[in-house]
Amino acid sequence: MIEIKAIALTIFVICYFFILLRKYNIAVVSWISALFMVVFGVISLSDVGEILYSNWEILAIYWGIMVLSIAFFESGMPEFLAAKILNKVHTVRGSIIALCLLTAFISAFVENVAVVLLMAPIAVSIAKKVKRSVFPFLVSIAISSNLEGTLTLIGDPPAIIVALKTGMNFLDFFWFQGKPSIAIFVLAATVTAFMVLWWLFRDLDKKIDLHPKENKVSYLATILFILVIIAVALFPYYGLPIGSVGLAAGLLSLALLGRNVRKGFSEFDWKSFLFIMGVFVVVGAMERVNIINDIANWIGTVGSASPFIAFALITWISVLISGFVDNVPFVTLMVPVTAMVAAQTGISQWPLLFGMLIGSTVGGNITPVGASANIIAAGIIEKNGEKVTLWNYAKIGLPFTIAAVFTAFVLIWLVWM
């Protein structure tokens, strides 16, 4: 078993090394890594099928919202909204923050990837109007969506996992056991993180004097856009399969494209879609041989020395690990670990859970592969002819992450410990 774990870990590290370099097709890298997991006996072909099937709803949402975003862009509405935003804020920096605020609000109720895909056409339209790089727009949207995913129970899969495993309900995310709960800490973290964004983009503060032309707008894609947001928000709450929303959105969007349906297929971001499938298999293989479980147990053992060490270790290790691997399996495994550490140190499980949840969701903002929303944003950036590297992504994502997590870390400690 130890040998299999060593093989799996080696493949994983090599895979992410080449992915972070972004010098090669990331979809090819992920699938070659997945193939090596099979060839070296870490998982079987049937395991690959089971891993992909277990994630079918996520893949369906990716596909459906991607196609919807193309139809939405073709409708002329993103260009219309871009002009409206620019008429209000008058600066590039202001337009980025305005988009982030809108993204943050929607992400409290809708899965992050869906939000990024729906907001991307607006961001690209604004960037083109002001003749600026799409990079700061799309990276800012991605990291803002990740931060707000824990504001409500239905905002992101990790929040749903914690709620289902602990019995928390929707309102418990705001006020729990007579104290402020995780949503309050996320809101405070949002204020700090957005102040950092405002400072980071201080060089983009020149006035914009645009006189946008009237453009023809089709409202059908916008109506579908709104209906999909409502469905994605409500379906998990009522236990309905969210994947069906993605499938329906994709098929209806193809119908809206009509004669432009070929454009829907040609502009579809196949590289990001196939990359995500491959990463699911690679991370799933790590989970199957219990490597993620070993990491979680190590955190629990070391952190049992004292309440503060336990809280700090769980929070910041969650940030570090989630910067490179998907947070869903990590959060699933860490929920029982927080209960174990709480029992060993004689403290409440809740601050450990809150720290882990915020750390694991915001930590993904450090790298372009730390969260699914980042992967999608990076793919759109590259489709617009710009390069994404670990360094230029981290220049925005890292200070944003540190500011957000540190703010929440201090407040959780003061209120709950």
Q: How confident is the model at residue 298 (pLDDT cuts 50, 70, 90)?
A: confident
**pTM for the model:** 0.74
Tens-digit pLDDT profile for residues 360-409: 888 888 888 777 788 888 888 988 888 888 888 999 999 999 999 999 99
Distance between start and end Cα atoms, the chain: 39
- Please state, in angstroms and rounded to a whole number, the distance separating the CA atoms of residues 67 and 261: 10
In this predicted structure, which of 5-9, 76-80, 377-381, 401-405 has the lowest mean pLDDT? 76-80
pLDDT of residue 197: 92
Indicate the pLDDT class of residue 192, thresholds 50, 70 and 90: very high
Tokens of 82: 């871009």
Stretch 128-146: mean pLDDT, rounded?
A: 88
HSE, CB side, 13 Å, CA atoms: give it for residue 188: 16
Is 70 exceeded by the pLDDT of residue 166?
A: yes
Rounded to an integer, what distance in angstroms lies between the CA atom of residue 148 and that of residue 171?
A: 16
**What is the amino acid identity at position 56?**
W
User: Is pLDDT of 411 > 90?
Assistant: yes
Q: Is the pLDDT of residue 282 over 80?
A: yes
| 307 pLDDT above the threshold of 90 | no
Which two structure tokens, joined as six digits, stand for 154? 């239905």
Q: Does the pLDDT at position 332 exceed 80? A: no
pLDDT at 409: 95
Percent of the chain whose pLDDT exceeds 90: 18
Percent of the chain with pLDDT over 70: 89
- Tally of structural domains, the chain: 1
What pLDDT, on a 0 to 100 scale, did the predictor assign at position 215?
A: 63
Using CB atoms within 10 A of its CB, is residue 262 exposed (0-12), middle (13-18) or buried (19+)?
exposed
Radius of gyration (Cα) for the chain, nearest Å? 21
Q: Look at residue 236 in the predicted model and tell me its pLDDT.
A: 66
Instruction: Mark out the alpha helices in 304-386 (DSSP H runs).
Output: 307-322, 327-345, 349-362, 372-383
> How confident is the model over 66-93, as a mean pLDDT?
75
CB 326 within 8 A of CB 276: no
Residue 410 has pLDDT above 90, yes or no: yes
Residue 18 is predicted with a pLDDT of: 83
* 349 pLDDT higher than 80: yes
User: What pLDDT sits at residue 412?
Assistant: 94
Mean pLDDT of 4-29: 83
pLDDT averaged over every residue in the chain: 82
Range of the domain at 86: 2-416
93 pLDDT more than 70:
yes
Q: What is the pLDDT of residue 190?
A: 92
The answer to whether residue 210 scores a pLDDT higher than 60 is: no
Question: Per mean pLDDT, which range of 43-52, 122-131, 314-323 is the poorest?
Answer: 122-131
> What per-residue confidence (pLDDT) applies to 42?
87
Which of 185, 200, 198 is closest to 404 using CA atoms? Answer: 185
Residue 211 has what pLDDT? 56
Across residues 104-112, what is the average pLDDT? 75
For residues 304-310, give the mean pLDDT.
Answer: 80
**Structural contact between residues 302 and 340, judged by C-beta atoms closer than 8 angstroms:** no
